[in-house]
Amino acid sequence: MPGLRGRFSTLVKAKTSAALDRAEDPTQTLDYSYEKQLELMANVKNGITEVATSRKRLQNQQESLREQVVKLDGQARQALGAGNEDLSRAALERKQAVQSEIGSIDAQVAALERQQEQLTDSQHKLQAKLDAFRTQKEVVKAQYSAAQAQVQMSEATTGVAAANASVRTMPKLSPDSEGAHRTSARASSASLRSSETLPSACTPRSSSIM
């Protein structure tokens, strides 16, 4: 039964299209996830910048403290040369305190360097995952667009097929009906010609006056 099969095909295509319409558009979800990963990447980059800035600040502080060590060492020598042992001793004690502070800063700088290396490594790994996700995202979006186009194509094909089926199932005149139709048309034409000639045949002749 062609008509039943056509209606069933139309019903299946309609349900498929409706299901696709109700389904969540994956492109929106993928774009949202990608934006979140970009934000995470930006946070990692900012963290690396902040760690590098802190490490540089500590290194500058170290340089300043080293200059103090040299200065205090000179003061201690100068005081000792002047015979002022107390002042020389105080300068040396201050020098040791500064050197201890430099050692503490060394540990902090080393920790920041390790942290920066870890963040940089995480950045590289995250960037690789981000690139792979972006590629996969574009593939899924292309597949979804192709699925939509396929559904639309199927709907259009089904509509054309249904229209063609309707034309093929239209009732046709049988030969007898066509003959009767032609006979009726000829009779109507003959009657019309007779009615057109009737007035001239019935017109009275004028009598001649003697």
Determine the length of the chain: 210
How do residues 73-132 score in pLDDT, each as one tens digit?
Answer: 999 999 988 888 899 999 999 999 999 999 999 999 999 999 999 999 989 999 999 999
Query: Please, which pLDDT band fits residue 182 given cuts at 50, 70 and 90?
Result: low
Tell me the DSSP string of 114-137.
HHHHHHHHHHHHHHHHHHHHHHHH
Q: Are 56 and 85 in contact (CB under 8 A)?
A: no
Among candidate residues 60, 65, 64, 58, the one with its CA nearest the CA of residue 98: 65
Residue 113: per-residue pLDDT: 94
Residue 174: per-residue pLDDT: 52
Summary mean pLDDT of the chain: 75
Among candidate residues 177, 175, 173, 195, the one with its CA nearest the CA of residue 185: 177
Residue 169: per-residue pLDDT: 59
Residue 80: per-residue pLDDT: 87
How many Cα neighbours within 13 Å face the side chain of 2?
Answer: 10
Indicate the helix (H) or strand (E) that contains 42.
Answer: helix 26-81
Looking at residue 209, what DSSP letter applies? P
Residue 15: per-residue pLDDT: 47
Query: Please, which pLDDT band fits residue 12 given cuts at 50, 70 and 90?
Result: very low
Q: Are 13 and 102 in contact (CB under 8 A)?
A: no
Compare 97 and 20 and report the one with higher pLDDT: 97
Q: What is the dihedral of CA 139, 144, 147, 152, to 10 degrees?
A: -130
Whether the pLDDT of residue 41 is over 60: the answer is: yes
Which CB contacts under 8 angstroms, 24+ apart, belong to 71-78?
72/98
Query: Please, which pLDDT band fits residue 140 given cuts at 50, 70 and 90?
Result: confident
Q: Are 65 and 103 in contact (CB under 8 A)?
A: no
Q: Which domains does the chain have, with CATH numbers?
A: 34-149 (1.10.287)
Residue 28: per-residue pLDDT: 82
